[in-house]
Amino acid sequence: MPTNNENISLRSDEVQEIMSHVPHWMIRSGISLMFLLIALLVFISWFIKYPDVIEGTVTVSTIEPPTRLVSKNSGELQALFFEDGVNVNEGDVLATIGNSFSKETRDYLDSTCSQIKQELERDELTIEFKDENLNFGSIYESYSTLKSGVLEYQNFRETDPILFEISTIGAQIKNYTMLRSVSKQQVKTAEKEFENAQQKFKIDEKLLAENVISKVQFYEEEQKLIQAENNLGNYKKSAVENSITITNLRRELYRLKQEHKSKQTEFVRRIELGLTNIQNALDQWRLNYQIIAPSSGKLTYLKTLNENEYIATETPLFAIISDNQGYIGYVDVPKSGYGKLEIGHKVRARIDKYPYQEFGQLNGEVTEISLLANEDMYRVQFSFTDGMKSSYGKTFEYTPEMSGTADIITNDVRLLSRIFNKFRKVFD
């Protein structure tokens, strides 16, 4: 049974007022409203999604990267053969760095070596050296060796005694061949005479047996037969001796020709070695003092160049932009977010020399992702979907190694997932 104090509290005015008053609707439905609000937020966060953006520095290049050309030796820039921005072909000489080896000397060596090669192929050598007032510098020894070799060979061709012997023996062979022909004809005549003598001797034998002729006459005819037989043997012997002589002369002629050919080959080998040494020296000079285009493409000056300007060793001079105008970009991104990158992600590249607020940005697509980091940065390769045409419809003019910044747009992530990831981080 309640005490007096409890009865007093239950019947107080304040208690009676609260108990008799109906609560506000917010208080009556607050829990349900909060539940509905939370459910609405979860519902909205499920549909709302957006990607992460990974930013990095970008470098634009061609599919075939530009070839950079530097000076390999120091000296004055003797000549510039092409202007900035023109197209050049593979093998074109772009510039020459001066040294003591003058252009006149180079031209003289080129023409002289070419003439010597042509004359050697025709088995003649009539070249005359006109090298007065020319400075051959470091290749003087090679040039001197070539020149002396050519002069000695010319003298050898004119005065070699073997050539006289070859000519003499050739004439002897010709004469003995004619003599052998005469001997063969004499053999035929002697054979005919011997045959006639044999027939006459047989007739005389019958006549002697019939006592028509005397023994003296018979012996005279027998002597004629023996003489005809001896003549035939002598003519045959002479023909054989002529053949033997011709054979010996031909053997000697072959030996002399081989000896002459051996000496000639030695001279030609010395000349060819001299030509090779000079050609190597010219090639080495071109490699060291000429800037030659290694491929066809557009020539770009890497610095302001003027003739007679001093150029130090390893100075960047030119770049050749390949005729293959396919463009490609590289983005260096940090490690954070690297795992989110995938092939096919969109790339938005902003080029420094073309402010994107005015010119727009280039659109691309990731084509390759490096597996190894370089100085805590990963390199991502992407292709340009619209070439060098920007999002504002403006075409950028490519220059070697264009740079800027780029955003890589990763896959969309729901807002709900991002919220749960935050809670997961807290729980971790």
- Kindly report, residue by residue over 346-367, the tens digit of the pLDDT: 899 999 989 988 999 999 999 9
Are 415 and 331 part of one and the same domain?
yes
Tell the burial category of 108 from Cβ atoms under 10 Å away from its Cβ (0-12, 13-18, 19+). Answer: middle
The conformational region for residue 133 under phi > 0 = left, psi -120 to 50 = alpha, else beta, is left
Phi, psi for residue 196 in degrees, rounded to 5: -65, -40
User: Same domain for 198 and 117?
Assistant: yes
Contact yes or no for 314/71 (Cβ under 8 A): yes
**Domain co-membership, 298 together with 273:** no
Same domain, 335 and 411: yes
What is d(CA 330, CA 340) in angstroms, rounded to the nearest whole number? 17
Same domain, 308 and 390: no
Q: Which residues pair with 68 in a beta bridge?
A: 319
Among 318, 335, 366, which residue terminates a domain? 318
According to the model, what pLDDT value does residue 347 have? 92
Give the mean model confidence (pLDDT) for residues 70-85.
86
Q: Which among 54, 60, 58, 52 has a CA at the least distance from the CA of 332? A: 58
Phi, psi for 182 (deg, rounded to 5) = -65, -45
Task: Give residue 358's identity as a one-letter amino acid code.
Answer: E
**Residue 98 domain flag:** no
256 and 301 together in one domain: no
What is the rounded CA–CA span in Å between residue 87 and residue 321? 9
Q: Are residues 129 and 263 in the same domain?
A: yes
Q: Which helix (H) or strand (E) holds 419?
A: helix 415-427
Q: Which domain holds residue 29?
A: 4-47
Strands (E), 242-308: 290-292, 297-301
Question: Residue 242 and residue 71: Cα distance in Å, rounded?
Answer: 75
Residue 44 has pLDDT above 80, yes or no: no
Residue type, 166: I
Tell me whether residue 99 is in a domain.
no
Instruction: Show the CA angle centred on residue 64, arms to residues 59 and 65, nearest 5°.
Output: 40
Count of alpha carbons within 13 Å of 70, Cβ hemisphere only? 6
The per-residue pLDDT of the chain, averaged, comes to 81
160-to-150, 163, 261 alpha-carbon distances in Å: 15, 6, 11
Residue 58: CATH number of its domain: 2.40.30.170
pLDDT of residue 286: 82
- Both tokens assigned to 275: 């030509």
**C-beta pairs of 242-247 under 8 Å, 24+ apart in sequence:** 242/176, 242/177, 242/179, 242/180, 242/183, 243/180, 245/176, 246/173, 246/176, 246/177, 246/180
Q: Say yes or no: 280 and 302 in one domain.
A: no
For the residues 293-318, what does the mean pLDDT come to?
87
- The 8-class DSSP code of residue 389 comes to B
254 in any annotated domain? yes
Percentage of residues in the chain with pLDDT exceeding 70? 83
CA neighbor of 295 nearest in space, from 23, 4, 68: 68
- Label residue 415 by pLDDT band (50, 70, 90): low
What phi, psi does 71 have (nearest 5°)?
-80, 135
Is the predicted pLDDT of residue 298 greater than 90, yes or no?
A: no
Residue 105, pLDDT > 80, answer yes
pTM reported for the whole predicted model: 0.51
Share of the chain above pLDDT 90, in %: 12
287, 306, 341 - which closes a domain: 287
- Tell me, what DSSP letter sits at residue 376? T
Determine, yes or no, domain membership for 119.
yes
Task: Determine contact, residues 402/353, Cβ cutoff 8 Å.
Answer: yes
What is the pLDDT at residue 96?
87
C-alpha distances in angstroms, 347 versus 253, 301, 326?
A: 85, 30, 17
- With respect to residue 97, please indicate whether it lies within any of the assigned structural domains: no
**Cβ-contact 187, 232 below 8 angstroms:** yes
Q: Is residue 235 domain-shared with residue 198, that is, in the same domain?
A: yes
Task: Say how many domains are in the chain.
Answer: 4
Residue type, position 113, single letter: C
Coil, strand or helix: which one is 198?
Answer: helix
- Is the pLDDT higher at 185 or at 212? 185
pLDDT band at residue 339 using 50, 70 and 90 as cut-offs? confident
- Phi, psi angle pair for 112, to nearest 5°: -65, -45
Q: Supply the angle between the helices 25-47 and 415-427 in degrees, to the nearest 10.
A: 100
Residues 348 and 401 in one domain: yes
Report the range out of 42-56, 131-145, 328-342, 380-394 with the highest average pLDDT.
380-394
Q: Is the pLDDT of residue 46 over 70?
A: no
Q: At 231, which CATH number? A: 1.10.287
Which stretches of 160-214 are DSSP H helices?
161-209
pLDDT at 37 over 90: no
